[in-house]
Chains A and B, each alone.
Chain A
Amino acid sequence: MPTADLERTPPWSWREASTRLAFLTGLWLLLTGADAGSWVIGGPAVLLATLLSLRLRSPVAWRWRPAGLLRFVPYFLWHSLRGGLDVTRRALHPRLPIAPALVYHTLRLPPGPSRVFLANTINLLPGTLSAELQDSRLTVHMLDAALVNVMELQRLETRVADLFAVSLE
């Protein structure tokens, strides 16, 4: 996809605006427990957030595949737990078993929100931290740059492609 398309935000539709408005209203209701007095702040905040989110939304259309989400959530929870245990073990171990290095990963996901999502989830999984996302290259700081951990990164990318219903290059 050419870069010019990525930089232009397409005009929004009323349908899209009302979906976002409904979602953010729901969020406010949840946070304030439907307190009527809170709308003095909530009303303008929800309205401004809706406008801002329309302004900042991705030029690339995207969606989550529901079945992909059902597969992704348990995978994510399990590996977050592993990530927490892994870093706990390394931090407490007397010899501090780490062998950090920067790894350059060429993304196979198409440009757009799925890449940003990958960069974010990488931070929560065992031993990986995304340090730079530029064009098709993701710079990852690894706490232990062993081959198994690099392969795990590729597996995560496959999972994200499944979630966003996109194909890998």
Chain B
Amino acid sequence: MAPDDWLTLVCLLAAAPFFLAGSIGLLRFPDLYCRLHALTKADNIGLGLVVLALLWQVTSWSEALKLLLIWLLVLLAGATVAHLIARNALRQGQKPWERP
């Protein structure tokens, strides 16, 4: 394998645990608010690493820009949606879980 392929492999392997942790957090965390933390933060960095992995494989500048654009758009959408879900839950009166 070429060095670029190794770098891609390393970045992809680094990304996987974040997605796994995001899903485990979704199952283990006690309430909606905590679960949103797990999903937004772990998946964003996971996707960032996937994008970084693919950047070693691009053949043109426009491809690289497109990949970065995709990451930025997902970041923006993820942050906005997390805020809206949390806001709605708060307005409906859902109390955050507290350590007993």
Q: Is A92's CB under 8 angstroms from B24's CB?
A: yes
A123 vs B82: C-alpha distance when bound (angstroms): 8
Number of A-B residue pairs at CB separation under 8 A: 113
A133 vs B80: C-alpha distance when bound (angstroms): 12
A123 vs B87: C-alpha distance when bound (angstroms): 13
Q: Is A80's CB under 8 angstroms from B76's CB?
A: no
* A100 touching B98 in the complex, CB below 8 Å, given contacts A87-B38, A91-B29, A129-B36: yes
Min C-beta distance of A162 to chain B, whole Å: 20
Q: Is A124's CB under 8 angstroms from B41's CB?
A: yes
* A91 touching B45 in the complex, CB below 8 Å, given contacts A102-B96, A120-B79, A131-B87: no
- How many residues of chain B have a CB within 8 Å of chain A? 41
Residue A6 is within 8 A (CB to CB) of chain B in the complex: no
Q: Is A131's CB under 8 angstroms from B41's CB?
A: no
Min C-beta distance of A168 to chain B, whole Å: 22
For A84, give the chain B residue with the smallest CB separation.
B45
Residue A98 is within 8 A (CB to CB) of chain B in the complex: yes
- Point out residues on B near A: beta carbons under 8 Å: 17-18, 21-22, 24-25, 28-29, 31, 33-34, 36-38, 40-42, 44-46, 48, 62, 65-66, 69, 75-76, 78-80, 82-83, 86-87, 89-91, 96-99
